[in-house]
């Protein structure tokens, strides 16, 4: 039997670790929601900062440099782009490379892309 085991993408955070951080919102970590405005109206993780991907570079002053910044979007693609912008500007950053759904109460459902 052959089993496919995905290799973590550099800069990505494990789903289990992301879920733990999203539940506890540690003071040394910021979740950066880079989805579009229309996507956020359906629900947002409590305590997350929302800055759409295309605005991250222009709004870096709103993102604290002294924290681990974890970017997420709906599928991981835009989060990866935001992660690269953050890394290029000296931030300690990671991103969620998975599918995520957030309900109106902020509850999350994260599934691997594969």
- Residues with a known catalytic role: 73
Please choose, from the candidates 7, 11, 109, the residue with its C-alpha nearest in 3D space to the C-alpha of residue 69. 11
Quick count: other Cβ atoms within 10 Å of Cβ 8? 9
Please choose, from the candidates 81, 1, 74, 69, the residue with its C-alpha nearest in 3D space to the C-alpha of residue 29. 69
Tokens for 3, please give them: 């089993």
CA distance 41 to 55: 18
Instruction: Return the bridge partners of 101, or none.
Output: 109
């Amino acid at each position: 039997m052959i089993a496919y085991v995905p290799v973590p993408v550099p800069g990505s955070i494990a789903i289990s670790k992301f879920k733990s951080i999203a539940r506890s919102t540690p003071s040394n970590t910021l979740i950066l929601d880079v989805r579009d405005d229309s996507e956020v109206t359906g629900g947002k993780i409590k305590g997350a900062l929302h800055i759409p991907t295309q605005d991250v570079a222009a709004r870096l002053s709103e993102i604290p440099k002294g924290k681990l910044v974890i970017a997420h979007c709906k599928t991981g693609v835009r989060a990866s782009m935001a992660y690269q912008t953050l890394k290029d500007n000296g931030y300690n950053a990671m991103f969620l490379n998975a599918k995520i759904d957030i309900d109106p109460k902020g509850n999350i459902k994260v599934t691997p892309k594969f």
